[in-house]
C-alpha cells in the first residue's frame, strides 16, 4: 500500500518496550499502522547503555531518595536512530496536562519522539533537549510507558483517515469544548428504560438540537469550568440559563 501523505512517525524510548508493543497490537492503533497511516517504533533505552550490566540509572547528585535515569543511553538512542529532528516529548508529572487541543496539535506533526520517564526522574541535561513536557494527569503511575500509550492513542485518532467515520472525532467529548451528549442504541426499551422519543422520530434538526442541549447540560453539571472557554452561541447561553433554572 502506498504511504499516505499525512503519515506520521512515532518513536518511543522506554525501559518497558513489551508493555508498549502489546498495546500497539490492538484496535485503532494496529489498524492505523497496517494502513501505513502511522509508523511506530519502540526503543529499549537499556539497549543503548555502554557497560556490561546495561546500567541506565544512578543515584542523584546532592543525595535524595530514588534513582535518576542517566543521560548517556538516552542520548545514544537519539543519536543512533536519528531522532533529534522529531518533536521531542518528555512524559513527566511536571509537564503541561494533556488535553484534546494538545492532541489535535500534535497530530499534525510528521515525527514525534516520546521519552518515557521512570524511577525518580531523568537527568536534567536530557530534559533540556526536549521540545515540551506533557503530563497525563495529577497522579503517580509506575512508569512512563503507560503514559505513552495514552498520548499515542489521543494523538493518532486525530489523524485524518484513522477512524472509520470521519465525523467521529468531531463529535467526541472535548472536540467542541463540551462533553458529549448521551448515546443510545437498540432496543428502544430495556428493563423499563426507554430511549428518548425525539431520537426515534427521524427529525434530524430536532435531534441535533436535543443533542446540543444535552451536551450543554452534561458539561454544566460535570465540568462547568469548560463552559468558560467553550465557543458558545447566544442560543447556547440561553439554553444554559434555562437549564440552571431547573437544577
Cα dihedral sign for 219, 224, 230, 236? positive
- C-alpha to C-alpha distance for 131 and 109, rounded to whole angstroms: 13
Is residue 157 flagged as an active site residue? yes
At 154, which helix (H) or strand (E)? helix 144-156
- C-alpha to C-alpha distance for 107 and 181, rounded to whole angstroms: 25
Is residue 120 flagged as an active site residue? yes
Residues in the chain: 247
- C-alpha to C-alpha distance for 87 and 125, rounded to whole angstroms: 17
Catalytic residue among 17, 57, 73, 157: 157
Catalytic residue among 76, 133, 172, 180: 172
Catalytic residue among 72, 76, 120, 180: 120
* Matching residue, cell 428504560: 193
Is residue 71 flagged as an active site residue? no
Catalytic residue among 39, 72, 87, 93: 93
Is residue 85 flagged as an active site residue? no
How far from 12 is each of 20, 63, 147, 228, CA to CA, in Å? 9, 30, 11, 35
Point out the residues that are catalytic. Answer: 93, 120, 157, 172
Amino acid at each position: 500500500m502506498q504511504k499516505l501523505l499525512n503519515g506520521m512517525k512515532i518513536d518511543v524510548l522506554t525501559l518497558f518496550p513489551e508493555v508498549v508493543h502489546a498495546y500497539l497490537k490492538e484496535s485503532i492503533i494496529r489498524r492505523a499502522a497496517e494502513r501505513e497511516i502511522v509508523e511506530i517504533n519502540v526503543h529499549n533505552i537499556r539497549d543503548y547503555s555502554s557497560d556490561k550490566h546495561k546500567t541506565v540509572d544512578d543515584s542523584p547528585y546532592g543525595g535524595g531518595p530514588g534513582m535518576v535515569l542517566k543521560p548517556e543511553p538516552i542520548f545514544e538512542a537519539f543519536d543512533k536512530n536519528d531522532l533529534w529532528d522529531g518533536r521531542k516529548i518528555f512524559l513527566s508529572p511536571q509537564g503541561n496536562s494533556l488535553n484534546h487541543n494538545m492532541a489535535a496539535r500534535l497530530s499534525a506533526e510528521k515525527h514525534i519522539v516520546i521519552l518515557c520517564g521512570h524511577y525518580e526522574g531523568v537527568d536534567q541535561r536530557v530534559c533540556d533537549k526536549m521540545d515540551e513536557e506533557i503530563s497525563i494527569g495529577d497522579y503517580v503511575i509506575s512508569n512512563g510507558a503507560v503514559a505513552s500509550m495514552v498520548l499515542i492513542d489521543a494523538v493518532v485518532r486525530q489523524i485524518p483517515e484513522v477512524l472509520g467515520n470521519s465525523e467521529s472525532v468531531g463529535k467526541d467529548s472535548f472536540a467542541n469544548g463540551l462533553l458529549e451528549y448521551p448515546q443510545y442504541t437498540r432496543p428502544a426499551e430495556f428493563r423499563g428504560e426507554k430511549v428518548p422519543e425525539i431520537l426515534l422520530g427521524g427529525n434530524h434538526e430536532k435531534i441535533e438540537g436535543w443533542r446540543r442541549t444535552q451536551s450543554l447540560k452534561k458539561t454544566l453539571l460535570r465540568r462547568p469550568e469548560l463552559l468558560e472557554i467553550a465557543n458558545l452561541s447566544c442560543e447556547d447561553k440561553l439554553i444554559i440559563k434555562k437549564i440552571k433554572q431547573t437544577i
